[in-house]
Amino acid sequence: MNIKKLSILFCATACSFFGLAADSVKSTEVKVQLFRDYEGALVEVKGAYNVFDPKNGTKLIASYLPSSYYMYPTTDGLKWGQEFPDVYQLLIAADKKETTIVVAGTEYRGKAYFYQIQGSIGAVNELPLDDFVMSTLSTHIPEEIVSQDALEALAIALRTEV
């Protein structure tokens, strides 16, 4: 099977697997739910970052150093290293693309949203579609079959078609 047929097969499989349709994806960012209904979670940022209130866009923290704290709901909002009174959602955005965010033991790129809902928290990862596709395909395709460059090309092809 030549590389063109293989690329088309992978793109078609990825599109059908994730239910992506051309009219359903308006930007190159996707949001993936990480969890919901947790009592709390260890959240670590491995580099410089900013924390925002996504409800109104207010910057709450700017840090140039990595941080690791247990995040949990309080009666007044959320706590992650410090209390955020009357703030029931947080957005952690890394300053650099290389910086990762570890949520409940799993490392993610992009942004992480945290929400308090009825005394528990939920988390969502927002990342570029290319990164999402490459990450997902790499877990399903053995490294010895397709190189990293080929995965990047497939991700670009999928984004172009979507």
pLDDT tens readout for residues 53-85: 999 999 999 999 999 999 999 999 999 999 999
Tokens of 39: 């009592």
Q: How confident is the model at residue 90 (pLDDT cuts 50, 70, 90)?
A: very high
Residue 15 pLDDT greater than 60, yes or no: no
Give the pTM. 0.72
pLDDT of residue 162: 56
Instruction: State whether 120 and 154 are in the same domain.
Output: no
Residue 106 pLDDT greater than 70, yes or no: yes
**Percent of the chain residues topping a pLDDT of 90:** 56
Instruction: State whether 143 and 113 are in the same domain.
Output: no
Residue 148 belongs to domain spanning: 3-25+130-161
Instruction: State whether 37 and 106 are in the same domain.
Output: yes
18 Cβ contact list (under 8 Å, min separation 6) = 136
Tokens of 85: 């009174």
Residue at 20: amino acid letter: L
Instruction: State whether 43 and 123 are in the same domain.
Output: yes
Count of structural domains, the chain: 2
Q: Could you give the CA distance from residue 92 to residue 99 in angstroms, rounded to a whole number? A: 11
Q: Let me know if 118 is exposed, middle or buried by CB neighbors in 10 A (0-12, 13-18, 19+).
A: exposed
Q: Could you give the CA distance from residue 76 to residue 74 in angstroms, rounded to a whole number? A: 5
Q: How many residues in the chain?
A: 162
Q: How confident is the model at residue 23 (pLDDT cuts 50, 70, 90)?
A: very low
Instruction: State whether 74 and 118 are in the same domain.
Output: yes
pLDDT of residue 138: 66
Q: How confident is the model at residue 156 (pLDDT cuts 50, 70, 90)?
A: confident
Q: Could you give the CA distance from residue 151 to residue 162 in angstroms, rounded to a whole number? A: 16
pLDDT of residue 88: 97
Instruction: State whether 42 and 101 are in the same domain.
Output: yes
Residue 134 pLDDT greater than 80, yes or no: no
